[in-house]
Amino acid sequence: MTASEDRLLLGPLLRYVDETSAAVWVETDGPATVTVTRGAATASAPTFVVHDHHYALVELDALEPGTTEAYTVALDGDRAWPPTGSPFPDPVIATLEAGRPLHLAFGSCRTSVSHDEKGNRTHGVDALRAWALRVAGQVEPADASDADLDPDRLPDLVLFLGDQVYADETTDAMREFIESRRDIEQAPWTELKDYEEYAHLYKLAWSDPANRWLLSTVPSAMIFDDHDIRDDWNTSMDWRREMEATSWWHGRIVAGLASYWVYQHLGNLSPVEREKDEVYALVRAHRGDAEQDLGPFLDEFADRVDQHPQTYRWSYTRDFDTQARLVVVDSRAARKLDPDDRAMLDDDEAAWLDEQLRGDVDHLLIGTSLPFLLARGLHHLEAFSEALAQGAWGERGGRVGERLRQLVDLEHWGAFQSSFQEVARQVMEVAAGERGRAPSTVTFLSGDVHHSYVSEARPRRGGRALRSTVLQAVCSPIRNPLSRNMRFATAVLSYGVAGPMGRLASRSAHVPDAPLTWTYAEGPWFDNNLAFLRLAGPSLRMWWVTGEVLDDHDRPRLAKVESYALDEDGNPPPREGFASKVGRRVRRRAKDDSVRER
């Protein structure tokens, strides 16, 4: 490794890319001028400092739409990327092109353990890395005739839907780092304490050579979920009070949000949004000044947006001409937790989302880390627990409801009924053509729940007729599988009587009917996996892939888990009977035998 390659600590991460611009993010070991060169285009940016860490965002513009060209990164004029002798193809920047069918990858929940037998035994194969190896042409697919395992081009974007890093459940490598700097017998024990530890956590997550190469060549967009901060983040007022009473929570939330801005959020922003961003204005004013550490400003910002979430927006929207609009919703930081006035989104955020949910595009894609349409049994249980906690069955029931809510993670959209009802109504209006031309689909993309599925929604009996197909697609985990017991519990709550029973329970607690109902079209399945979505006019196709170890743990092959496609007019496939669906599941090879029991 050359000296300048050594100086590139993390990245390059290829982040926001559109028809004519691209943003490349790096972390370096000290002050530097970072230059990105792609063909005739070149751009430089000096580093900025946050808590002694050095970063740069290099912004290329005036690029030709629909072109793919290799690029290099140099630090102070010396080439640092790609590394000499890299076994991976040259990293490229591919600009978007109006009208070209949009191709996305998405997924969530990825722990960063080793890629050897031990890591695969406890956490299964990293689906992101298995895909990276396949894209790099380094491993064979499980089925050479399956074009989905050998795509003709890279996706336009990989969307990470939460739990990109685990700040609470730390790995051996992370614990080693923590122990090297403080006593793990003291709070917050083996959980993350400050920015320095977050910087190390991100390094562990994005340093493996295959993933690092992939993230340098496929643009990414991200949104946090609970584990990026802590399990159950903002479940309820009781949860928040409990956290705020500890000695360590303030440090965690400040470090978690400050590092989230630097490592994840900054790269989500378009050039126009960067222009308006208050923190980026600070970065621009002080980059190149190695003496000016922006850490204290970032901390103050993080503290403020935690206490007053309406003062900043983590959510964002991407328009892909008239093909698709991708709305990515923050379903964690902007919650209203007052027990008498609970909401997934505060008033500002809810008004913003209301504005984004419009038609006049072929596909409306809504990214929310938490599935909007959860397995019906779980959804009703969550609605029931919220009603209980709010006193539908008196004070004692209230305590039971709160305990239940925290014990079994009952904190999805169903546990925030007013928000669920509101967004469901808005989506139905879009799908009925009441908010502009009805899209062919309205598709929620989600993660978090450690199982994957596709659900199709329809209006409740007597509701308005829909012109759009309304779908929920979930891809979770990329690498963090459920134990077998939890899989069983999830399956029970997903099938059979759980839906109607849950409905009965929530009705008994006076939970109002939703304007829509939904059923599984595919799933659930529990593999580590990564999902893909490709649009073609009114049609949409999705598929999920996983990594399989044959003999070499370091080189898993890529295999398909499941797929789902609308017909060419955008209509759902004919419904398969329950028996044949179960039969197909059983016939499919049992996966992840090596998966840990928790």
- What does the binding site for Fe ion look like in residue numbers (CB under 5 A)? 163, 225-226, 448
Question: Least CB distance from residue 257 to Fe ion, whole Å?
Answer: 16
In the complex, minimum distance from the CB of residue 306 to Fe ion, in angstroms, rounded to a whole number = 18
Nearer to Fe ion, 81 or 106 (CB): 106
Residue 465: what are its φ and ψ, rounded to 5°? -70, 140
Of the two residues 428 and 530, which places its CB atom closer to Fe ion in the complex?
A: 530
The secondary structure element, H or E, covering residue 3 is: helix 3-7
C-beta closer to Fe ion: residue 122 or 331: 331
Q: What number of residues does the chain have?
A: 598
Q: Would you state the structure tokens that stand for residue 472, as one six-digit string?
A: 């929920």
Three-state DSSP class for 458? strand
Number of C-beta neighbours around residue 594 at 10 A: 15
Specify the residue, 331 or 443, whose C-beta has the smaller distance to Fe ion: 331
Q: Are 63 and 95 in contact (CB under 8 A)?
A: yes
How far apart are CB 226 and Fe ion at their closest, in Å?
Answer: 4
Residue 113 C-beta: closest distance to Fe ion, Å = 18
Alpha-carbon distance of 268 to 86, in angstroms, equals 28
CB nearer to Fe ion: pick between 449 and 498: 449
In the complex with Fe ion, the residue whose CB is nearer, 229 or 255, is 229
- The β-bridge relationship of strands 452-459 and 469-474 is antiparallel
**Minimum separation from the CB atom of position 78 to Fe ion (A):** 41
Residue partners of 206: CB distance under 8 A and separation at least 6: 10, 11, 13, 212, 215
Shortest Cβ 227–Fe ion spacing (Å): 5
Pick between residue 133 and residue 165 the one whose CB is nearest to Fe ion: 165
DSSP 95-130: ---TTSPPEEEEE--B----SSHHHHHHH---HHHH
HSE on the CB side for 238, CA within 13 Å?
A: 16
Closest CA to 478 of 206, 273, 151: 206
Nearer to Fe ion, 226 or 277 (CB): 226
Distance, in Å, from the CA atom of 419 to the CA atom of 577, rounded to the nearest integer, reads: 33
Shortest separation between residue 87's beta carbon and Fe ion, angstroms: 34
CB of 476 to Fe ion, least distance (A): 8
Closest CA to 154 of 224, 70, 83: 70
**Shortest separation between residue 160's beta carbon and Fe ion, angstroms:** 12
Coil/strand/helix, residue 259: helix
CB of 448 to Fe ion, least distance (A): 4
Is 26:55 a contact under the CB 8 Å cutoff? yes
Task: Please identify, using beta-carbon distances, which residue of 168 and 299 lies nearer to Fe ion.
Answer: 168
- Beta carbon of residue 225, minimum distance to Fe ion (angstroms, whole number): 4
Contact call for residues 544 and 486 (beta carbons, < 8 A): no
CA-to-CA separations, 242 to 239, 245, 250, in angstroms, rounded: 5, 5, 12
* Among 156, 195, 475, 200, residue whose Cα is nearest residue 320: 156
CB of 235 to Fe ion, least distance (A): 11
Q: How far is the CB of 229 from Fe ion (least distance, A)?
A: 10
User: Which residue, 449 or 511, has its beta carbon nearer to Fe ion?
Assistant: 449
Dihedral of the CA atoms 374, 379, 381, 386 (nearest 10)?
120
Q: Is 99 left (phi over 0), alpha (psi -120 to 50) or beta?
A: left
Whole-angstrom distance, CA of residue 299 vs CA of residue 255: 7
- C-beta of 27 vs 226, nearer to Fe ion: 226
Residue number with CB closer to Fe ion (331 or 494): 331
State which H helix or E strand residue 11 sits in.
strand 8-17
CA pair distance 131, 187, nearest whole angstrom: 38
Question: Shortest approach of Fe ion to residue 39 CB, angstroms?
Answer: 40
What b/e readout covers 16-43, taking b as 16+ CB neighbours within 10 angstroms?
bbbeebbbbbbbbeebbbbbbbbeebeb
Residue that the structure tokens 């607690």 belong to = 509
Q: Describe the chain by its helix, strand, coil percentages, rounded to 5.
A: 35, 25, 40
Toward Fe ion, which CB reaches closer, 359 or 371? 371
Residue 133 or 449 with smaller CB distance to Fe ion: 449
